[in-house]
Structure 1
Amino acid sequence: MQSPALHAADSHDLIRVHGARENNLKDVSVELPKRRLTVFTGVSGSGKSSLVFGTIAAESQRLINETYSAFLQGFMPTLARPDVDVLDGLTTAIIVDQERLGANVRSTVGTVTDSNAMLRILFSRLGQPHIGSPQAFSFNVASVSASGMFKRGEGKAEKVTFSRIGGMCQRCEGVGSVSDFDLTALYDDTKSLNEGAITVPGYSMDGWYGRIYRGCGFFDPDKPIREFSKRELDDLLHKEPTKIKVEGVNLTYAGLIPQIQKSFLSKDREAMQPHVRAFVDRAVVFSTCPECEGTRLSEAARSSKIAGISIADACAMQISDLAGWVRGLHEPSVAPLLTALGDTLDSFVEIGLGYLSLDRPSGTLSGGEAQRTKMIRHLGSSLTDVTYVFDEPTTGLHPHDVQRMNDLLLQLRDKGNTVLVVEHEPEAIEIADHVVDLGPGAGTAGGEVVFEGTVDGLRASGTLTGRHLDDRASLKPSVRTPSGALEVRGASTHNLQGVDVDIPLGVLTVVTGVAGSGKSSLIHGSVAGRDGVVAIDQTPIRGSRRSNPATYTGLLDPIRKAFAKANGVKPALFSANSEGACPNCNGAGVIYTDLGMMAGVATTCEECEGKRFQASVLEYHLGGPDNGKDISEVLAMSVAEAEEFFGAGEARTPAAHAVLARLADVGLGYLTLGQPLTTLSGGERQRLKLATHMGEKGGVYVLDEPTTGLHLADVEQLLGLLDRLVDSGKSVIVIEHHQGVMAHADWVIDLGPGAGHDGGRIVFEGTPADLVATRSTLTGEHLAAYVGG
C-alpha cells in the first residue's frame, strides 16, 4: 500500500480538477501531470476551451490578480471564479492564444516584441549623425518644444525651455498613412440640403438627420452647397458634437465627417449592409503619407544611419536579413545589446516567422502568426515550472512547419514547464505525453471526458477522435472542368514577384504554400474586392456584448415576426434591445457595477434571472400548447434544436429555417442562438460569416483556412459543403494547409518555394494528382506522403 507521504509528494506533481461545470462541462474531473505535454482533443464545442481556458487558466490568472493591491486590480479585467469544486496544484499560467494582436494603428511586429525598443537604443548610440535619445527614433513620440517662467526658491523667476525630440512624422502623426474623405461621395454640391444634397445612406431629409441638419441654424438649407462660405462648409463637414434645440427638442449636432466616423467607420465592414459597405469603400480614401513615405518617422530619425542603414530601412528588412545585419555589427560598447537583439531576431526565424518585417502592422497578422509572435517572448525566458496554454498552435502552418512547432513545444516542456495544448492536428497530437479527449459530441451533447491516457490508448479507444486519428483522404478519381478563368496579372503585393496566374472558375481551387509564401497576398491582394467575390476571413466581428449568432445572421427578424404573428402583438416586444427589454438590466441580462478603485463586477439580473426580457413578454409562446417556447427559451436553443423547431409544426418559419440550415451546414449546429459573439473562436467566426454570405448572390467565394478549429471528423462535412457550393454554380477558392482539402481540390496553385523574399512565385499549377506525381515542391512531397503516393 502506498504511504501517505509518497501520495502527498505525488499530488504535488498533478494539476487536479474536480467537478468542473463551466459552460457545457458536466462535473468534469481530470488529473494532469505537471512538467509534461498534455493535448486536449474533441470536436468543436465539446468543452476543450471551457476546461483549459475557462477553468484552469482562468483560475490561475484570477489568483495571480488577487495578489495585487486593490488600486492595481482596478485597472485589470474582472475575473469571476470558475464553476469548479476543487482546483489545486496550479502554477502560473501563461496563455499563448490566437487572439489577434491589438489592431491599434501604432502597433507593429517590432513594438509588440520589444525589438523596436532595442533597435532605438542601438541607433541612439551608434547612429550618425547623432540626433538624440532612443525616443528620437520612436514614431510614437512627438517632438515638443515649450517654454515658461519658473520660480526657483525665493529668487527671481527664470525662463525655462523644455524640449523633447521624438521620431514621429508630424504629417501622419506616426501612422504612416493619411485618410481622406472623397467629398463627392458625401454630397452633390449643385443641390441644397432641402433638395437632397446629402448622399450618405440613411441621411435623408425626412428623418431625424434631416431635421437636425435643416434646423441647426449653421447654414441655409435652401442654399446650394457650392455657394456655402468657408465657415458654413466647415460646420457642415467638421463641426464637433454641439448641443442644439430643434423643434423644441434638445439634440446633438455633429458635422458629416465625425458623424460618419461614429456611425459607419466604427462598425465591422463585414457586418454592414451591401449598400453601406459600397458607400464606405467609395467615400474613404487611405494613402501613404507623402512626407515620411509610410515609414512613420521624421526626417531627422531617417537621416541617422549605421553602416548606411537607417532605422526605417532596418524595420523594413525581412527579419531573417535583419538578423544577419545585426550579427555583422561589431561594436564592443553595445555588445550585450547586439547579442540580445540578435537572439530575439533569431527566435523569429526559428519559429518560422523570419519572412515578416518589424514594420508590419500587428493587426495584419493571422491568428497563427499572432500566436507564434507571442511565443517569442517566452522562448528566451528563464522562468520554469510555468503552465503554458496553447490554442491550436499549428493553425496557419504548412505541414513542413508543423515539426518545427512541435520541437518548440517540447523545448518548453523540457525546460521544466507544464504545456497544455488544445489541438486537432494529428501530427501535433502524436507528441503528447498525455491526452484528454472530450465529447462525445458538441454543446449539450459534449462536456464529458471520454478518454484520458496515452496517444496509443486514444487510437484504440473507439472515441470519435481515436477513430479519425489516422484518417487519410484519397485523391479524387476525376476533377471538374473549369467554366472560365479569373485572370491575375503582375501581382506584386508584399513579397509577390510580379505573379501572373489564371484561377479557374466553376471549380474548387486550393491555394497552398508554406507560411509567408504569398498565398494571402495573392488572393486578398488581387482577387478579394473584385465584383462578385465574397471574401470570408477569421477577423473579429465588431459588435457589443449583446451581439450573438441570431442578431449577426439576421435570424432574429423572422423569429420576432413569427412570435408577433402568433400572439397578435408587435415584433419589437421580442427584442431585448427594444420594447421587450427587462427594465432592470436594460436587456443585458446582467448588471454591471462599477466599484470605483476596485474591479467592477457583473451579476446576473435578479429581475429577469438573466433572460433579458420583461416577465410579460415571456408569457407569449410560439409552437403550440405542448412544445411552445418563449423567446428566451428559443435564444437558449442550439442551432440544431432550433432548426428542428422552426422546420415543422406550428412554429414552422421558412425564413428562419433557411438561415439555421446554413449554420448547421457549416458545422455550427452546437452553437446557441444567444451565445455572445465575443466568445467565438476564429474558425467559428469564419464559419458564421460563411453561413451569412451563403444567401448572397456572389459568384466567387474566398475562404481563408476554413479547417481552423475543425475536428478531424468535421473536415469531411466541410468538404461536402464546399462541393455543394461548387455544384450550385459557385467558384470556391480556398487558402489551406490541410492535406485532406488539397487532395479534394480540382485545381491546386502552390506558392513558394520558401517564405518572404524566398517565396512569392507560383511553383506549381495543376491537379492534385499531378502535384503528387511530380513531387516538385514541399507541398507535393507532403501531400504524396499523406495520400500514400
Structure 2
Amino acid sequence: MNDEMILRGLKENNLKNIDLNIPKQKIIVFTGLSGSGKSSVVFDTLAAESRRQMTLNYPLYVRNQMPRYERPHADLMKNLSPVVVVEQRAIGSNTRSSVGTYMDIDPLIRLLFSRIGTPPIGSATDFSSQSTFGRCPACGGFGEVVAPDLNKLVDFEKSLRDYAVKFKPLSPSGWQGRWMITGGLFDPDLPIKDYSEEKLQLLLFGPPKGEKVYAPFHTKNGPQPHEWDGLLPRFTRLYIHRDVTKLKEVSQEDVLAVSTHALCPTCQGSGLNPKVLECTIRGLNIAEYDQLELTELLVELSSIQDPMGEVIAWQAIPHIQQLIDMGLGYLSLSRKVGTLSGGEAQRVKIARHLGSSLNNITYIFDEPSAGLHPEEVERLIQMLKSIKEQHNTVIVIEHDLSVIKAADEIIEMGPGAGVYGGKVIYQGKLEGLHQTPTAAILHQALSVNNNPRRRYSYFSIDAASNNNLKSISLNIPKNVLVAVCGVSGSGKSSLMTEAFPDRYQDTIMVGQGSIGISTRSTLATYMGIMDDIRNIFSKETGKPAGLFSFNSLGACPVCEGKGEILPDVAFADPVTVRCEACGGSRYSDEALSYRYQLKNIVEILALTVDEAMSYFTVPKIIKRVNTLRDVGLGYLTLGQTTSSLSGGEVQRLKLASHLQKEGQTYVLDEPSLGLHAEDNGKLLDVFQTLVNRGNSVIMIEHNLDFIAASDWIIELGPGGGKQGGHVIFEGTPEEMLQAETPTAKWLKAVVNTL
C-alpha cells in the first residue's frame, strides 16, 4: 500500500533485523529508552535512504558536489517520501548569524529600506554590515570593538617555554609559539617580566614603525626567514580581523577569552555605517527595526502604506507571525542565534519550516519538546498537528508524555538500550500501550518532595542585570538540590550561566553543547582512562604504550586505525567496507598479540562498563567507570565511539565526565535533555548522592519530575523577553503547589491527575 512506508530487515547500529510499516499523513512518535534504537531507525535508515534517493534525481556531476549518503543496512525500503529533518544540533555557528538571517527575514528588511526609506541610500546590499559601503568603518561590521587584553594574553611570571602566552595557537603547542622559542629573537626560558624594555617591546609590539625583523623558521626545506611583527599585532591581524569561524584551530570564544570587547561607539553595536543609519521608515532606521521585539515589528510592517513597501512587508510578515505563534514574539531580528536558549533555538528551527506549502513530505523532529516549558509544549503539539493537516507525515523522536499522548501512532523501541535494545516492543495507539518502560511511566503517579533538605547557607546574587534580568537579588541555598524554572526567555540562562558564574567562578558548568565527537573518540578516551589502560598493557608487556593505541604505533597499517575502508567508487554511492586486514578492530597484529589478564586490547575495549567494574583494580579507572554506571551507561562498551551515541547518551556522558569531584557547585543546563522518563530516576539518584556528599547542585529544568524532586525551586518570569527577568517564586515543591505561576499550574495538574 502506498499510504505506508515499508521497511524490512533494518540492521543499522544495534537494530535487530526489524520490520516496520509506518503510516503516512499521521503523527508517529518513536519513544523508548535512550540508546534503544530510535535514531537508528529514523535518522540512520529512513532519513538517510530518502536523502540518498533524492540525490539520484540530479546529474552525476551535480551529485558529486552534494552530500553523499551510503545505503543503510536494510533489506527493503519502499514508498519513502522526501524528508525534512529538524535536528537538535545548534543553529548557526557563525557569530554574525541572527534570528533575522536564519529566518531569511533580513534580506526582505534591507530590500524594504532600499525601496521606501528616506533619505534614499541605494541598493539593498548597502544596508548590510557585510557590504563594503554598509559596514561600520570603526568595527568592520561586527558591532563590537575587540582588542587583545595584554594581561589575559600573557603571564609575565612565566617564560615562553612555560606557556607565558595563554592563547593556544601562539603558545608552544602551536607552530607560532614554537617559532618564538626556536627563532633566536627571545630567551625562551627567561620569565617575561625579566626581559629588557627593548626585548619586551619587540615581543609584544614588534619592531619600531618602518623597521622589519626576521627570525629563522624551520621547515622541511631547512630554515627560512620569517618576519616577526609582534605578539599583539599578530593576534589582531590573524584572530580579530579575520572570521575565526573559518579557522580550524581556534574558536570565537577562545579569542574573546583573551580580549576586551565593547559596544562600538560609532555604530552603537549595529555594525552599520552611520550614513546607512540616517535612512528611516516611519522614523525608525534599520538598526532600530532589527532591535524591535517581533510583536512590535509586526505592527510596524502592517502599518506601511506605500504600495511597493506593502508588497515587500507582506512577504516578511508570515515568517514573523510564525515565530510569534511559537511563543517567540519577545525576540528581535538582531538576536544572535548563539545566545538563544535550547528551547528558543528549537522553536526557531521549527518555525523556519512552517511557511512551506509543500505536502506529502515526511517531517522528522528530534525531540522538539527539548528545552520547552510545559506551557510551550501545548503550542508545539498544535504546530505538529497543523503540519499533518497539510497532508504531511510527522515523525517525532520524543520522551515528553504530552507529545506521546498526542500521537496517532506510537512506536516504542527497546526493551533496553545499546546491545539490549534494537527491537520494536510496541506499535499502535496510546490505549494499547502496556507493559513497556513508557507505559509504566504513563501510569506512574508523580509526588512532590515533602521532606526537603534544610537550608543553612546561601549563594547571594545582588542586582543581576544580565540581558533581560530586572536587577534581581536573591539567595540560592547551598548543599541542596535546586531547580531553576520558567518559560523560555524568562532569564534562567542569564541568571545561572552568566550572572552566577561571574560571582562564583569555581562553578562547574555542564551545558547543552556538543562534546566534540569523532569516530576516533571512544568512551574510554573521553573519560580520560584510555592512557591508564594503555599503561597497564605497557607495564605488563614491556612494550611502549603507543603500541596499544589505534591512533599511534598500534594502528592497523592497512586502514590506519579506522577499522574500515572507503573505496573510491567515483560517482556511485559511497560504500564503507570493513578492513579485512584487522577485521575492523583497528589494531595491528602485533598489538593484538599482547594480553593483560588473558585479554588483548580489543577484548578489553569490548568490555561493558558493568563488566569493567570487576576487571580493573586501578582506583582512577574504577572511580570513573563507576560514574558512568551511576548515570545509567553501564551497558556501553569502553571502546564504543562517541560518534555512535544517542543524544541522551551524550548528555549523560558529559555529566559523568564532570561528576568526579566533591565539595563543588554544579550548574546543570537541562540535564534531562534526551532522556526517557525511566532514565530520569537514575539521574536524580546521582544528583541526590552528589548533594549528600556535600555538593551544591543547581538545575535549569522544565522537566516536572526533576522540579518535583528538588529541595528548593526558583521560578523566573512571568513571560519571556521584556516580560521576563523577575523572580516570581522561591520556595519548596510543596509551597509551589499553593502558588499561581506558569510552572505551578502544570505541577498541580500532573500531581492531581496521576
Q: Is TM (by shorter chain) over 0.5?
A: yes
Matching residue of 2:288: 313
Matching residue of 1:356: 331
| C-alpha separation in 2, matches of 1:81 and 1:202 | 40
The C-alpha deviation readout for 1:40-82, integer Å capped at 9, x for no partner, is 1100000001001110011001111222233332332231110
Q: Is 1:470 paired with 2:443?
A: yes
| C-alpha separation in 2, matches of 1:608 and 1:739 | 49
Matching residue of 1:548: 522
Q: Is 1:509 paired with 2:482?
A: yes
The C-alpha deviation readout for 1:199-222, integer Å capped at 9, x for no partner, is 778999999988743442556778
Report deviation, 1:196.
9.0
3-state DSSP of counterpart to 2:738: helix
Matching residue of 1:56: 46
Structure 1 residues 94-109: aligned runs within 5 Å: 94-109=84-99
Matching residue of 1:608: 582
Structure 1 residues 483-498: aligned runs within 5 Å: 483-498=456-471
Task: Please tell me the residue identity of whatever aligns with 1:613.
Answer: Y
| C-alpha separation in 1, matches of 2:513 and 2:173 | 36
Matching residue of 2:118: 128
3-state DSSP of counterpart to 1:285: strand
Task: Please tell me the residue identity of whatever aligns with 1:556.
Answer: M
Does structure 2 conserve the Cα–Cα contact (< 8 Å) formed by 1:19 and 1:28? Answer: yes
Task: Please tell me the residue identity of whatever aligns with 1:57.
Answer: A
Q: Is 1:227 paired with 2:207?
A: no
Matching residue of 1:148: none
3-state DSSP of counterpart to 1:465: helix
The C-alpha deviation readout for 1:569-599, integer Å capped at 9, x for no partner, is 2222112222212233332334456788888
Matching residue of 2:558: 584
Structure 1 residues 619-658: aligned runs within 5 Å: 619-624=593-598, 628=599, 630-637=600-607, 641-645=608-612, 647-649=613-615, 651-658=616-623
TM-score computed with the length of structure 2 as normaliser: 0.90
| C-alpha separation in 1, matches of 2:439 and 2:18 | 20
Does structure 2 conserve the Cα–Cα contact (< 8 Å) formed by 1:14 and 1:32? Answer: yes
3-state DSSP of counterpart to 2:431: helix
**Structure 2 CA distance for partners of 1:429 and 1:691, relative to 1, 3 Å:** same
Task: Please tell me the residue identity of whatever aligns with 1:635.
Answer: L
Report deviation, 1:298.
1.9
**Structure 2 CA distance for partners of 1:230 and 1:45, relative to 1, 3 Å:** same
Matching residue of 2:702: 737
The C-alpha deviation readout for 1:599-640, integer Å capped at 9, x for no partner, is 87755444333322212101122233xxx2x22333344xxx
3-state DSSP of counterpart to 1:227: helix
* Structure 2 counterpart of 1:781, from 745, 751, 754: 745
Q: Is 1:706 paired with 2:671?
A: yes
| C-alpha separation in 1, matches of 2:441 and 2:535 | 43
* Structure 2 counterpart of 1:292, from 267, 280, 283: 267
| C-alpha separation in 2, matches of 1:132 and 1:598 | 48
Q: Is 1:689 paired with 2:654?
A: yes
Matching residue of 1:748: 713
Does structure 2 conserve the Cα–Cα contact (< 8 Å) formed by 1:186 and 1:198? Answer: yes
3-state DSSP of counterpart to 1:142: coil
Report deviation, 1:663.
1.5
Does structure 2 conserve the Cα–Cα contact (< 8 Å) formed by 1:194 and 1:214? Answer: yes
Task: Please tell me the residue identity of whatever aligns with 2:668.
Answer: L
* Structure 1 counterpart of 2:57, from 57, 67, 72: 67
Matching residue of 1:146: none
Does structure 2 conserve the Cα–Cα contact (< 8 Å) formed by 1:540 and 1:682? Answer: no
* Structure 2 counterpart of 1:177, from 137, 144, 154: 144
Q: Is 1:138 paired with 2:120?
A: no
**Structure 2 CA distance for partners of 1:336 and 1:211, relative to 1, 3 Å:** closer
Does structure 2 conserve the Cα–Cα contact (< 8 Å) formed by 1:236 and 1:256? Answer: no
Does structure 2 conserve the Cα–Cα contact (< 8 Å) formed by 1:180 and 1:286? Answer: yes
| C-alpha separation in 1, matches of 2:421 and 2:605 | 19
3-state DSSP of counterpart to 1:449: strand
Does structure 2 conserve the Cα–Cα contact (< 8 Å) formed by 1:99 and 1:370? Answer: no
Task: Please tell me the residue identity of whatever aligns with 2:731.
Answer: G
Structure 1 residues 14-53: aligned runs within 5 Å: 14-53=4-43
Task: Please tell me the residue identity of whatever aligns with 1:569.
Answer: K
CA RMSD of aligned residues (A): 3.4
Task: Please tell me the residue identity of whatever aligns with 2:117.
Answer: G
Does structure 2 conserve the Cα–Cα contact (< 8 Å) formed by 1:511 and 1:748? Answer: yes
Task: Please tell me the residue identity of whatever aligns with 2:32.
Answer: G
Structure 1 residues 335-734: aligned runs within 5 Å: 335-458=310-433, 461-529=434-502, 530-542=504-516, 544-591=518-565, 603-624=577-598, 628=599, 630-637=600-607, 641-645=608-612, 647-649=613-615, 651-696=616-661, 699-734=664-699
Does structure 1 conserve the Cα–Cα contact (< 8 Å) formed by 2:664 and 2:695? Answer: yes
TM-score computed with the length of structure 1 as normaliser: 0.86
Does structure 1 conserve the Cα–Cα contact (< 8 Å) formed by 2:485 and 2:701? Answer: yes
3-state DSSP of counterpart to 2:322: helix
The C-alpha deviation readout for 1:180-229, integer Å capped at 9, x for no partner, is 32223444679986999657789999999887434425567789363049
3-state DSSP of counterpart to 1:390: strand
**Structure 2 CA distance for partners of 1:103 and 1:659, relative to 1, 3 Å:** same
| C-alpha separation in 2, matches of 1:124 and 1:200 | 43
**Structure 2 CA distance for partners of 1:768 and 1:16, relative to 1, 3 Å:** same
Matched-pair identity in %: 40
Task: Please tell me the residue identity of whatever aligns with 1:730.
Answer: N
**Structure 2 CA distance for partners of 1:699 and 1:420, relative to 1, 3 Å:** same
3-state DSSP of counterpart to 1:41: strand
The C-alpha deviation readout for 1:642-672, integer Å capped at 9, x for no partner, is 3423x335x4333212111112212333444
Report deviation, 1:441.
0.1
Does structure 2 conserve the Cα–Cα contact (< 8 Å) formed by 1:179 and 1:286? Answer: yes
| C-alpha separation in 2, matches of 1:384 and 1:667 | 41
3-state DSSP of counterpart to 2:535: helix
Unaligned runs of 5+ in 2: none
Does structure 2 conserve the Cα–Cα contact (< 8 Å) formed by 1:186 and 1:200? Answer: yes
| C-alpha separation in 2, matches of 1:179 and 1:123 | 29
**Structure 2 CA distance for partners of 1:14 and 1:219, relative to 1, 3 Å:** same
Q: Is 1:770 paired with 2:740?
A: no
Structure 1 residues 157-176: aligned runs within 5 Å: 167-176=134-143
Does structure 2 conserve the Cα–Cα contact (< 8 Å) formed by 1:316 and 1:359? Answer: yes
**Structure 2 CA distance for partners of 1:762 and 1:208, relative to 1, 3 Å:** closer
**Structure 2 CA distance for partners of 1:204 and 1:136, relative to 1, 3 Å:** closer
**Structure 2 CA distance for partners of 1:304 and 1:504, relative to 1, 3 Å:** same
Does structure 2 conserve the Cα–Cα contact (< 8 Å) formed by 1:367 and 1:682? Answer: no
Matching residue of 1:149: none
| C-alpha separation in 2, matches of 1:335 and 1:211 | 60
Report deviation, 1:498.
1.1
Matching residue of 2:82: 92
Matching residue of 1:759: 724
**Structure 2 CA distance for partners of 1:595 and 1:141, relative to 1, 3 Å:** farther
3-state DSSP of counterpart to 1:655: helix
3-state DSSP of counterpart to 2:540: helix
Report deviation, 1:729.
0.5
**Structure 2 CA distance for partners of 1:269 and 1:656, relative to 1, 3 Å:** farther
Matching residue of 1:153: none
Does structure 1 conserve the Cα–Cα contact (< 8 Å) formed by 2:346 and 2:371? Answer: no
